Structure 1
Amino acid sequence: MEAPRMTSAPAIELRSFTELDAVRGDLLDVYAEVRAPLLHLANYAVSSFGERLDRHGAEPGFQAVLAYEGEHPVGYAYGNRIEDGDRYWQRTNPAPSEKYTEHAAVALKEIGVRPAWRGTGVARRIHDALLASRDEPYVTLMVNEAAGDGKVHALYRSWGYEDIGHSQPSPASPRLTVMIRSTG
Protein backbone atom coordinates (compact mmCIF):
# COMPACT_ATOMS: atom_id res chain seq x y z
CA MET A 1 0.00 0.00 0.00
CA GLU A 2 1.35 3.40 -0.97
CA ALA A 3 1.82 6.00 1.75
CA PRO A 4 -0.45 9.03 1.49
CA ARG A 5 1.10 12.00 -0.30
CA MET A 6 2.25 14.68 2.10
CA THR A 7 0.75 18.10 1.44
CA SER A 8 2.86 20.10 3.87
CA ALA A 9 6.31 19.77 5.39
CA PRO A 10 6.27 16.58 7.44
CA ALA A 11 7.62 16.40 10.98
CA ILE A 12 11.00 14.87 10.31
CA GLU A 13 14.27 14.56 12.16
CA LEU A 14 17.56 14.93 10.30
CA ARG A 15 20.40 12.69 11.46
CA SER A 16 24.00 12.92 10.32
CA PHE A 17 26.38 9.95 10.07
CA THR A 18 30.08 9.68 9.27
CA GLU A 19 30.22 5.87 9.56
CA LEU A 20 28.48 3.94 6.82
CA ASP A 21 27.85 0.81 8.93
CA ALA A 22 25.46 2.73 11.20
CA VAL A 23 23.13 3.62 8.33
CA ARG A 24 23.84 1.32 5.37
CA GLY A 25 20.58 -0.65 5.71
CA ASP A 26 18.45 2.50 5.82
CA LEU A 27 20.23 3.91 2.76
CA LEU A 28 19.61 0.72 0.78
CA ASP A 29 15.97 0.63 1.90
CA VAL A 30 15.22 4.20 0.81
CA TYR A 31 17.25 3.83 -2.41
CA ALA A 32 15.24 0.76 -3.44
CA GLU A 33 11.98 2.72 -3.24
CA VAL A 34 13.36 5.94 -4.74
CA ARG A 35 14.85 4.16 -7.76
CA ALA A 36 12.18 1.43 -8.08
CA PRO A 37 11.31 2.26 -11.72
CA LEU A 38 15.01 1.92 -12.71
CA LEU A 39 16.11 -1.10 -10.68
CA HIS A 40 16.00 -3.37 -13.74
CA LEU A 41 18.90 -1.36 -15.27
CA ALA A 42 22.36 -2.63 -14.26
CA ASN A 43 23.64 0.77 -13.10
CA TYR A 44 20.61 1.31 -10.86
CA ALA A 45 20.32 -2.20 -9.37
CA VAL A 46 20.39 -2.25 -5.57
CA SER A 47 23.52 -4.44 -5.73
CA SER A 48 25.29 -1.85 -7.93
CA PHE A 49 24.25 0.93 -5.57
CA GLY A 50 25.51 -1.12 -2.61
CA GLU A 51 28.91 -1.51 -4.26
CA ARG A 52 29.15 2.24 -4.95
CA LEU A 53 27.93 3.02 -1.44
CA ASP A 54 30.58 0.79 0.13
CA ARG A 55 33.30 2.44 -1.96
CA HIS A 56 32.04 5.96 -1.18
CA GLY A 57 31.64 5.17 2.52
CA ALA A 58 35.33 4.27 2.73
CA GLU A 59 36.47 7.49 1.03
CA PRO A 60 37.72 10.57 2.94
CA GLY A 61 35.13 12.93 4.35
CA PHE A 62 32.17 10.56 3.99
CA GLN A 63 28.97 11.95 5.50
CA ALA A 64 25.34 10.94 5.14
CA VAL A 65 22.28 12.87 6.30
CA LEU A 66 19.01 10.98 6.55
CA ALA A 67 15.53 12.27 7.24
CA TYR A 68 13.40 10.17 9.56
CA GLU A 69 9.72 10.29 10.37
CA GLY A 70 9.84 8.51 13.70
CA GLU A 71 12.15 5.57 13.00
CA HIS A 72 11.15 5.39 9.31
CA PRO A 73 13.84 6.75 6.93
CA VAL A 74 12.22 8.89 4.23
CA GLY A 75 15.17 10.47 2.46
CA TYR A 76 18.92 10.76 2.31
CA ALA A 77 21.90 12.52 0.85
CA TYR A 78 25.51 11.50 1.11
CA GLY A 79 28.85 12.61 -0.19
CA ASN A 80 32.52 12.80 0.49
CA ARG A 81 35.54 15.03 -0.04
CA ILE A 82 37.34 15.00 -3.38
CA GLU A 83 40.73 16.50 -4.18
CA ASP A 84 42.36 17.72 -7.39
CA GLY A 85 43.27 14.63 -9.39
CA ASP A 86 40.38 12.57 -8.00
CA ARG A 87 38.84 10.24 -10.56
CA TYR A 88 35.63 12.29 -10.23
CA TRP A 89 37.45 15.27 -11.75
CA GLN A 90 39.43 13.10 -14.19
CA ARG A 91 36.19 11.85 -15.77
CA THR A 92 34.71 15.36 -16.07
CA ASN A 93 34.84 16.76 -19.59
CA PRO A 94 35.88 19.44 -20.16
CA ALA A 95 38.31 19.46 -17.25
CA PRO A 96 36.93 21.69 -14.48
CA SER A 97 38.37 25.13 -13.83
CA GLU A 98 41.23 25.27 -11.35
CA LYS A 99 39.09 27.49 -9.12
CA TYR A 100 36.97 24.39 -8.41
CA THR A 101 39.86 21.96 -7.93
CA GLU A 102 42.54 24.00 -6.14
CA HIS A 103 40.88 23.13 -2.82
CA ALA A 104 38.99 20.01 -1.79
CA ALA A 105 35.30 19.96 -2.77
CA VAL A 106 32.30 18.01 -1.55
CA ALA A 107 30.98 15.49 -4.08
CA LEU A 108 27.28 14.94 -3.43
CA LYS A 109 27.06 11.34 -4.60
CA GLU A 110 23.37 10.59 -4.02
CA ILE A 111 20.22 12.29 -2.87
CA GLY A 112 16.81 10.67 -2.77
CA VAL A 113 13.42 11.08 -1.12
CA ARG A 114 10.64 8.50 -1.01
CA PRO A 115 7.82 9.41 -3.42
CA ALA A 116 5.30 10.22 -0.67
CA TRP A 117 7.62 12.90 0.74
CA ARG A 118 8.60 14.56 -2.55
CA GLY A 119 7.57 18.14 -3.06
CA THR A 120 7.60 18.86 0.68
CA GLY A 121 11.05 20.47 0.96
CA VAL A 122 12.60 17.38 2.56
CA ALA A 123 15.26 17.01 -0.16
CA ARG A 124 16.39 20.62 0.24
CA ARG A 125 16.49 20.29 4.04
CA ILE A 126 18.64 17.15 3.78
CA HIS A 127 20.91 18.79 1.18
CA ASP A 128 21.38 21.94 3.27
CA ALA A 129 22.03 19.93 6.46
CA LEU A 130 24.74 17.95 4.66
CA LEU A 131 26.47 21.15 3.53
CA ALA A 132 26.05 23.00 6.84
CA SER A 133 28.90 21.14 8.52
CA ARG A 134 31.28 21.09 5.55
CA ASP A 135 34.27 23.41 5.17
CA GLU A 136 34.98 22.75 1.49
CA PRO A 137 34.28 25.85 -0.67
CA TYR A 138 32.35 23.99 -3.41
CA VAL A 139 29.88 21.15 -3.76
CA THR A 140 29.54 19.21 -7.00
CA LEU A 141 27.08 16.61 -8.20
CA MET A 142 26.20 14.67 -11.32
CA VAL A 143 22.68 14.49 -12.69
CA ASN A 144 21.01 12.59 -15.48
CA GLU A 145 19.36 15.39 -17.45
CA ALA A 146 16.53 13.00 -18.38
CA ALA A 147 15.65 12.31 -14.73
CA GLY A 148 12.09 13.37 -14.02
CA ASP A 149 11.81 14.67 -17.59
CA GLY A 150 14.40 17.34 -16.75
CA LYS A 151 12.79 18.38 -13.46
CA VAL A 152 15.70 17.13 -11.31
CA HIS A 153 18.25 19.11 -13.33
CA ALA A 154 16.03 22.20 -13.10
CA LEU A 155 15.64 21.69 -9.35
CA TYR A 156 19.43 21.66 -8.86
CA ARG A 157 19.70 24.84 -10.93
CA SER A 158 17.10 26.45 -8.66
CA TRP A 159 19.35 25.49 -5.72
CA GLY A 160 22.22 27.47 -7.28
CA TYR A 161 24.08 24.74 -9.17
CA GLU A 162 25.49 25.43 -12.62
CA ASP A 163 26.56 23.02 -15.35
CA ILE A 164 30.34 22.69 -15.82
CA GLY A 165 30.70 19.56 -17.93
CA HIS A 166 29.75 15.94 -18.42
CA SER A 167 30.86 12.57 -17.12
CA GLN A 168 30.14 8.91 -17.66
CA PRO A 169 31.31 7.31 -14.38
CA SER A 170 31.02 3.74 -15.68
CA PRO A 171 30.16 1.96 -18.93
CA ALA A 172 26.70 1.11 -17.50
CA SER A 173 26.04 4.69 -16.42
CA PRO A 174 24.20 7.21 -18.56
CA ARG A 175 26.05 10.38 -19.58
CA LEU A 176 25.65 12.76 -16.65
CA THR A 177 25.84 16.53 -16.33
CA VAL A 178 28.38 17.72 -13.76
CA MET A 179 27.11 20.67 -11.72
CA ILE A 180 28.74 22.83 -9.04
CA ARG A 181 27.98 25.64 -6.60
CA SER A 182 29.54 27.19 -3.53
CA THR A 183 28.77 25.51 -0.22
CA GLY A 184 27.93 28.87 1.37
Structure 2
Amino acid sequence: MTTAPAIELRTHTTLNTVRGDLLDVYADVRAPLLHLPNYAITAFGERLDRHAAEPGFTAVLAYADGQPVGYAYANTIEHGDRYWQRTTPTPAEKYTERSAVALKEIGVRPAWRKTGTARRIHDTLLATRNEPHVTLMVNPAAGNGKVHALYTSWGYEDIGRSQPSPASPTLTVMIRPT
Protein backbone atom coordinates (compact mmCIF):
# COMPACT_ATOMS: atom_id res chain seq x y z
CA MET A 1 0.00 0.00 0.00
CA THR A 2 1.48 3.37 -0.95
CA THR A 3 -1.36 5.78 -0.29
CA ALA A 4 -4.03 6.11 2.36
CA PRO A 5 -6.97 7.61 0.49
CA ALA A 6 -9.70 5.73 2.32
CA ILE A 7 -9.24 6.69 5.94
CA GLU A 8 -11.60 8.48 8.25
CA LEU A 9 -10.02 10.59 10.97
CA ARG A 10 -11.98 10.89 14.23
CA THR A 11 -11.07 13.24 17.07
CA HIS A 12 -12.00 12.39 20.68
CA THR A 13 -11.57 14.32 23.91
CA THR A 14 -12.48 11.40 26.18
CA LEU A 15 -11.12 7.89 26.23
CA ASN A 16 -14.20 5.82 27.04
CA THR A 17 -15.40 5.18 23.46
CA VAL A 18 -12.01 4.46 21.86
CA ARG A 19 -9.91 2.75 24.54
CA GLY A 20 -10.35 -0.70 22.98
CA ASP A 21 -9.41 0.55 19.52
CA LEU A 22 -6.29 2.25 20.91
CA LEU A 23 -5.22 -0.94 22.69
CA ASP A 24 -5.81 -3.04 19.57
CA VAL A 25 -3.75 -0.79 17.31
CA TYR A 26 -1.03 -0.41 19.95
CA ALA A 27 -0.70 -4.21 20.22
CA ASP A 28 -0.18 -4.48 16.47
CA VAL A 29 2.17 -1.47 16.25
CA ARG A 30 4.38 -2.61 19.14
CA ALA A 31 4.10 -6.39 18.59
CA PRO A 32 7.88 -7.00 18.43
CA LEU A 33 8.36 -5.18 21.75
CA LEU A 34 5.41 -6.39 23.83
CA HIS A 35 7.63 -8.75 25.82
CA LEU A 36 9.49 -5.75 27.31
CA PRO A 37 7.95 -4.37 30.54
CA ASN A 38 7.66 -0.77 29.31
CA TYR A 39 5.94 -1.84 26.08
CA ALA A 40 3.57 -4.46 27.55
CA ILE A 41 -0.09 -3.84 26.79
CA THR A 42 -0.88 -3.52 30.50
CA ALA A 43 1.83 -0.85 30.92
CA PHE A 44 0.49 1.03 27.90
CA GLY A 45 -3.07 0.78 29.24
CA GLU A 46 -1.99 2.27 32.56
CA ARG A 47 -0.17 5.13 30.81
CA LEU A 48 -3.13 5.71 28.51
CA ASP A 49 -5.57 5.92 31.42
CA ARG A 50 -3.28 8.32 33.30
CA HIS A 51 -2.75 10.54 30.26
CA ALA A 52 -6.47 10.58 29.43
CA ALA A 53 -7.17 11.98 32.90
CA GLU A 54 -4.71 14.85 32.42
CA PRO A 55 -5.72 18.28 31.08
CA GLY A 56 -6.18 18.74 27.36
CA PHE A 57 -6.42 15.06 26.41
CA THR A 58 -7.14 14.61 22.70
CA ALA A 59 -6.96 11.46 20.61
CA VAL A 60 -7.21 11.06 16.85
CA LEU A 61 -7.88 7.66 15.37
CA ALA A 62 -7.75 6.68 11.71
CA TYR A 63 -10.23 4.12 10.42
CA ALA A 64 -10.31 2.21 7.13
CA ASP A 65 -13.39 0.16 6.36
CA GLY A 66 -14.51 0.65 9.96
CA GLN A 67 -11.31 -0.79 11.43
CA PRO A 68 -8.76 1.30 13.37
CA VAL A 69 -5.44 1.58 11.52
CA GLY A 70 -3.64 4.27 13.48
CA TYR A 71 -3.82 6.67 16.38
CA ALA A 72 -2.19 9.55 18.19
CA TYR A 73 -2.98 11.13 21.50
CA ALA A 74 -1.73 14.13 23.40
CA ASN A 75 -2.40 16.34 26.37
CA THR A 76 -1.42 19.75 27.68
CA ILE A 77 1.69 20.24 29.77
CA GLU A 78 2.35 23.37 31.80
CA HIS A 79 5.45 25.10 33.11
CA GLY A 80 6.86 22.90 35.89
CA ASP A 81 5.16 19.72 34.60
CA ARG A 82 6.99 16.45 35.38
CA TYR A 83 7.52 16.10 31.62
CA TRP A 84 9.85 19.11 31.70
CA GLN A 85 11.36 18.17 35.07
CA ARG A 86 12.56 14.83 33.68
CA THR A 87 14.13 16.44 30.60
CA THR A 88 17.89 17.06 30.64
CA PRO A 89 19.29 19.48 30.01
CA THR A 90 16.56 21.79 31.29
CA PRO A 91 14.63 23.01 28.23
CA ALA A 92 14.85 26.66 27.24
CA GLU A 93 12.30 28.93 28.91
CA LYS A 94 10.81 29.78 25.50
CA TYR A 95 9.46 26.20 25.37
CA THR A 96 8.27 25.89 28.96
CA GLU A 97 6.98 29.35 29.91
CA ARG A 98 3.61 28.68 28.28
CA SER A 99 1.60 25.50 28.00
CA ALA A 100 2.64 23.06 25.29
CA VAL A 101 1.03 20.02 23.76
CA ALA A 102 2.80 16.74 24.50
CA LEU A 103 2.28 14.13 21.80
CA LYS A 104 2.36 11.07 24.03
CA GLU A 105 1.84 8.32 21.45
CA ILE A 106 1.48 7.90 17.71
CA GLY A 107 1.28 4.60 15.88
CA VAL A 108 0.14 3.13 12.59
CA ARG A 109 -0.41 -0.54 11.84
CA PRO A 110 2.41 -2.02 9.74
CA ALA A 111 0.25 -2.36 6.62
CA TRP A 112 -0.50 1.38 6.73
CA ARG A 113 3.05 2.63 7.21
CA LYS A 114 4.63 4.75 4.49
CA THR A 115 1.20 5.84 3.28
CA GLY A 116 1.09 9.28 4.88
CA THR A 117 -1.39 8.04 7.49
CA ALA A 118 0.82 8.94 10.47
CA ARG A 119 1.33 12.47 9.18
CA ARG A 120 -2.40 12.91 8.54
CA ILE A 121 -3.20 11.74 12.08
CA HIS A 122 -0.48 14.02 13.52
CA ASP A 123 -1.66 17.07 11.59
CA THR A 124 -5.32 16.45 12.45
CA LEU A 125 -4.45 16.26 16.14
CA LEU A 126 -2.41 19.46 16.02
CA ALA A 127 -5.20 21.29 14.18
CA THR A 128 -7.27 20.97 17.39
CA ARG A 129 -4.59 22.62 19.55
CA ASN A 130 -3.73 26.22 20.36
CA GLU A 131 -0.48 25.75 22.31
CA PRO A 132 2.57 27.38 20.66
CA HIS A 133 4.72 24.22 20.73
CA VAL A 134 4.32 20.47 20.42
CA THR A 135 6.82 18.13 22.03
CA LEU A 136 7.33 14.38 21.87
CA MET A 137 9.77 11.74 23.03
CA VAL A 138 11.24 9.14 20.71
CA ASN A 139 13.49 6.16 21.21
CA PRO A 140 16.50 7.16 19.09
CA ALA A 141 17.05 3.50 18.16
CA ALA A 142 13.46 2.93 16.96
CA GLY A 143 13.48 1.63 13.43
CA ASN A 144 17.26 2.01 13.35
CA GLY A 145 16.84 5.76 13.70
CA LYS A 146 14.17 6.06 11.00
CA VAL A 147 11.45 7.22 13.43
CA HIS A 148 13.68 10.02 14.74
CA ALA A 149 14.51 10.99 11.15
CA LEU A 150 10.80 11.06 10.30
CA TYR A 151 10.06 13.46 13.15
CA THR A 152 12.99 15.61 12.08
CA SER A 153 11.50 15.76 8.57
CA TRP A 154 8.23 16.96 10.17
CA GLY A 155 10.09 19.93 11.70
CA TYR A 156 10.93 18.60 15.17
CA GLU A 157 14.32 19.31 16.72
CA ASP A 158 16.13 17.63 19.60
CA ILE A 159 16.17 19.54 22.88
CA GLY A 160 17.20 16.91 25.42
CA ARG A 161 16.78 13.44 26.87
CA SER A 162 14.37 11.85 29.29
CA GLN A 163 13.77 8.53 30.97
CA PRO A 164 10.08 8.70 31.94
CA SER A 165 10.19 5.54 34.05
CA PRO A 166 12.78 3.03 35.25
CA ALA A 167 11.51 0.52 32.67
CA SER A 168 11.72 3.03 29.82
CA PRO A 169 14.73 3.45 27.59
CA THR A 170 16.33 6.91 27.51
CA LEU A 171 14.33 8.89 24.97
CA THR A 172 15.15 11.92 22.86
CA VAL A 173 12.90 14.91 23.59
CA MET A 174 11.94 16.82 20.46
CA ILE A 175 9.92 20.00 19.90
CA ARG A 176 8.53 22.20 17.12
CA PRO A 177 6.01 25.02 16.73
CA THR A 178 2.43 23.83 16.34
What is the TM-score of this pair, normalised by structure 2? Answer: 0.99
Q: Which moved more, 1:8-17 or 1:147-156?
A: 8-17
CA RMSD, aligned part only?
Answer: 0.5
- The separation in 1 between residues aligned to 2:98 and 2:3, in whole angstroms, is 39
- The separation in 2 between residues aligned to 1:58 and 1:19, in whole angstroms, is 9
- The separation in 2 between residues aligned to 1:173 and 1:46, in whole angstroms, is 14
Three-state SS of the structure 2 residue aligned to 1:21 is: coil
Deviation at 1:8, TM superposition (A): 2.2
What corresponds to 2:118 in structure 1?
123
Letter in 2 for 1:55: R
Match of 1:38 among 33, 38, 41: 33
What corresponds to 1:3 in structure 2?
none
Letter in 2 for 1:86: D
- The separation in 2 between residues aligned to 1:8 and 1:163, in whole angstroms, is 29
Matching of residues 1-184 of structure 1 within 5 Å: 6-183=1-178
Aligned residue pairs: how many? 178
Q: Structure 2 unaligned segments of length 5 or more: list them.
A: none
- Residue by residue, what CA displacement relative to the aligned partner does 1:44-65 show, whole Å, maximum 9, x if unpaired? 0000000000000000000000
What is the TM-score of this pair, normalised by structure 1? Answer: 0.96
Letter in 1 for 2:115: T
Letter in 2 for 1:177: T
Three-state SS of the structure 2 residue aligned to 1:9 is: coil
Runs of 4+ in 1 over 4 A off after TM superposition: none
